Amino acid sequence: MGERYDEVGELASFAGTVATAERDPVVVIAGCGAGATIEGLREHDVAAYGFDTSRSALDAMDEATREWAIEADLRDDDLVASLREAFGIDGIDVFVTECVLSFLTVEEATDALAGIRDTDGVGVLAHRVRIDPPIAAQNGDIDATVLPPAKWQAACDPADADIWRDGLEQWKLPPSGTDPADET
Ligand SMILES: C[S@@+](CC[C@H](N)C(=O)[O-])C[C@H]1O[C@@H](n2cnc3c(N)ncnc32)[C@H](O)[C@@H]1O
């Protein structure tokens, strides 16, 4: 039997290659849900934080994880400043959108990501997008934007600055020293 793929371990290793400061790598998870990735990253010595719009998702977190997450919206104008203040952090090495972009329109995502990308001290943006509609959209409760990663990238990141992946596939993150924008 093959070894089980360790997606959090891969993200943690990547964050270690991106971080240049003399501290643990800092990763923020947007749309963190109940915080599984935050917990996993912390087991790999990553200073992981997250945010989500859902109070019930945040309330479902382990008590220990709750201090690493806040209620916030990816579309907030002052998002990075709020994260810095809430968590007492400065640099963010990797900013991950974790299966959350489908809750936004393309225009909302484009604006939000441009603002984050242009903020000093924010390193690499990495996105996992789901190509199946969220449950809430399947139930007709929300309108979802369901696009494959290449279409999200073309719409929101024409300069190809970020990393874009299908949320159901492996990260396959660029190796140490590789500029994510140069990956083939
Ligand atoms: C499909 S779930 C993914 C949860 C978790 N990241 C995972 O991969 O298992 C999407 C999450 O994004 C959150 N969300 C939706 N819109 C958001 C927004 N504008 N800003 C932040 N979080 C949002 C939802 O509350 C939900 O927890």
Task: Please write the tens of the pLDDT for every residue from 93-149.
Answer: 999 999 999 999 999 999 999 999 999 999 999 999 998 888 888 888 888 999 999
| Ligand 1 within 6 A of CB of 91 | no
* Cα 145 to Cα 148: distance, rounded to the nearest angstrom: 10
| Ligand 1 within 6 A of CB of 32 | yes
For 160-183, what is the mean pLDDT? 83
Tell me, yes or no, whether 125 lies in a domain.
Answer: yes
Tell me, yes or no, whether 184 lies in a domain.
Answer: no
Report the separation in Å between the CA atom of 73 and the middle of ligand 1, taken as the mean of its atom positions: 9
Its domain, for residue 158, covers: 7-15+22-170
Q: What is the pLDDT of residue 1?
A: 61
Tell me, yes or no, whether 179 lies in a domain.
Answer: no
Number of domains within the chain: 1
| Ligand 1 within 6 A of CB of 74 | yes
Render the burial of 127-164: b for 16+ CB within 10 Å, e for the rest: bbbbeeebeebeeeeeebbebebeebbeebbeeebbbb
| Ligand 1 within 6 A of CB of 10 | no
Task: Output the domain CATH number for residue 119.
Answer: 3.40.50.150
Tell me, yes or no, whether 180 lies in a domain.
Answer: no
pLDDT band, very low/low/confident/very high, at 178 (cuts 50, 70, 90): low
With a pLDDT cut of 70, the percent of the chain lying above it is 95
